[in-house]
Amino acid sequence: MEHFLDGFRNFANFNGRATRTQYWMFILFYMLIYIGLSVIDVLLGTIVLAGIFSLVMLIPAISYATRRLHDIGRTGWWQLIALIPLIGAIVLLVFLVQKSQGPNQYGEPVNAEPSVA
């Protein structure tokens, strides 16, 4: 939950880096809350709660993904590749799951993740 709340603390921070753990924990809690709100919307017969939540989370999600892409040495503009149907989303997913790199033009690594051999 700490990584999800960190998304709000740094909602407009497009500088720096975010590890795989930070990014995917943010996405996990985002999806769990979205699914819960969608279920409530279905029970109430509306689309208001999930829609408002998605709008509120738009900027934090973009900034977290930008910091994640910085961690692998790419600019945040690579998120626009998701606009290409199917192939773009797959390429972006591959980028987001890549292992963190050492120091790069976006700064020092946030913390050391255990390496998978």
Render each residue's pLDDT in the chain as its tens digit; 117 residues. 777 777 677 777 788 888 888 889 999 999 999 999 999 999 999 889 999 999 999 999 999 999 999 988 898 899 999 999 999 999 999 999 988 878 887 777 777 555 444
Q: What residues make up the domain containing 71?
A: 2-97
Residue 103 domain-assigned (yes or no): no
pLDDT at residue 117, as a whole number = 44
Residue 50 domain-assigned (yes or no): yes
Residue 38 domain-assigned (yes or no): yes
Residues near 18 by beta carbon (within 8 Å), at least 6 away in sequence: 64, 67, 68, 70, 71, 110
Residue 57 domain-assigned (yes or no): yes
How many structural domains compose the chain?
Answer: 1
The pTM score is 0.80
Q: Are 19 and 113 in contact (CB under 8 A)?
A: yes
Residue 56 domain-assigned (yes or no): yes
pLDDT at residue 114, as a whole number = 52
Residue 63 domain-assigned (yes or no): yes
Residue 77 domain-assigned (yes or no): yes
Residue 39 domain-assigned (yes or no): yes
